[in-house]
């Protein structure tokens, strides 16, 4: 083989290797985007490089795999659904207290499942692996809850926080914590009785 052929062969091999590496990275990026959703975009914007953001996501997945996550028992699901009904009922008379209670319910719920509860940032990082869809709502609700503790949140923001907490509670319970109520028929909407 001539020296020119050897150089050409090395160049072709290098191009193929580069294409394979690029393909693997693109596939990994697509998989991370599918897993983390909006959290992927947020992390990429926070880091200096896309590679650094993806490294953090891979680290989150590794740490998440080490968690001892447990499914909730039917009794625990029922207990949390009942607690959530109380949170919502309390909102009318005490919106700030209701938001604080919502934050407490979520913290206990994620703890019972097996997520960390000591550090909020660690908790959010671990939740992002399985619950990225509702993570943005949870972040916003928690931020409003923090402002509510300082009496800096409007009633509309407090309402919004309860709705956002409910998204995560519903996802964690796997069902609506308070099923939608069917409107009771009024006299006008009832079918006429037949003679």
Dump pLDDT digits (tens) for 92-136.
Answer: 999 999 999 999 999 999 999 999 998 999 999 999 998 888 888
16 vs 115, higher pLDDT: 115
**Residue among 127, 130, 134 at smallest CA distance from 110:** 127
Cβ-contact 144, 115 below 8 angstroms? no
The structure's pTM equals 0.73
Across 11-25, 51-65, 85-99, least confident range: 11-25
Q: Which of 46, 68, 173 has its CA nearest to residue 121?
A: 46
- How far apart are the C-alpha atoms of 67 and 3, rounded to whole Å? 56
Residue 118: φ, ψ to 5°: -70, -40
Band (pLDDT 50/70/90 cuts) for residue 179 is low
Report d(CA 56, CA 43) in Å as an integer.
8
Residue 37: predicted pLDDT:
79
Burial class (CB in 10 A: 0-12, 13-18, 19+), 44: buried
């Amino acid at each position: 083989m001539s020296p020119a052929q050897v150089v050409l062969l090395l160049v072709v091999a290098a191009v193929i290797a580069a294409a394979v590496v690029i393909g693997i990275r693109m596939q990994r990026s697509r998989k991370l985007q599918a897993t983390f959703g909006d959290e992927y975009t947020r992390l990429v914007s926070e880091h200096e490089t896309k590679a650094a953001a993806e490294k953090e996501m891979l680290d989150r997945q590794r740490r998440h795999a080490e968690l001892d996550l447990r499914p909730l028992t039917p009794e625990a699901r029922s207990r949390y659904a009942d607690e959530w009904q109380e949170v919502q009922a309390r909102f009318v008379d005490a919106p700030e207290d209701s938001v604080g209670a919502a934050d407490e319910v979520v913290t206990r719920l994620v703890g019972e499942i097996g997520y960390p509860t000591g550090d909020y940032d660690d908790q959010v990082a671990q939740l992002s692996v399985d619950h990225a869809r509702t993570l943005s709502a949870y972040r916003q609700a928690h931020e409003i809850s923090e402002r509510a503790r300082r009496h800096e949140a409007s009633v509309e923001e407090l309402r919004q926080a309860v709705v956002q907490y409910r998204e995560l509670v519903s996802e964690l319970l796997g069902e609506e914590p308070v099923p939608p109520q069917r409107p009771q028929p009024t006299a006008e909407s009832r079918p006429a009785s037949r003679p």
